[in-house]
Amino acid sequence: MKTIQELLKDSTTKIIDVRSPGEFASEHLTNAINIPLETIAARASEIIAMKAPVLVYCRSGARSGMAASILKQAGLDSVVNGGSVYDLLFEIQNH
């Protein structure tokens, strides 16, 4: 599996923000799509059909950890918990 830094640099990576639409509207990573945690299970087949590595994130890493687990249980092997939006923004700015 690729590192978070490699996933962020890979243009094929699907970056999914699992926070609420309001949180997403206030700040999010460029190219991220908003799929709130409570809808991840229902949209798992749609995410798997993207046929791309997936990086999920939230505010602290807790919700994205749950989302990654749900997607792995649904059969998606190429999913990584990116943790906090702030950690990822720091990674982007410093690399």
Contact between 60 and 84 (Cβ < 8 Å): yes
Dump pLDDT digits (tens) for 13-72.
999 999 999 999 999 999 999 999 999 999 999 999 999 999 999 999 999 999 999 999
pLDDT band at 2 (very low <50, low <70, confident <90, very high): confident
Which CATH number belongs to the domain containing residue 42 in this structure? 3.40.250.10
Predicted model pTM:
0.95
- Tokens 């046929």 -> residue: 51
Count: domains in the chain: 1
Query: Token digits for 41?
Result: 């299970």
Per-residue CA distances from 81 to 26, 37, 89, 93 (Å) = 21, 13, 14, 19
Active site residues: 58
- Tokens 């906090």 -> residue: 84
pLDDT at 94: 85
Domain that holds residue 65: 4-93
First-residue to last-residue Cα distance in the chain: 19
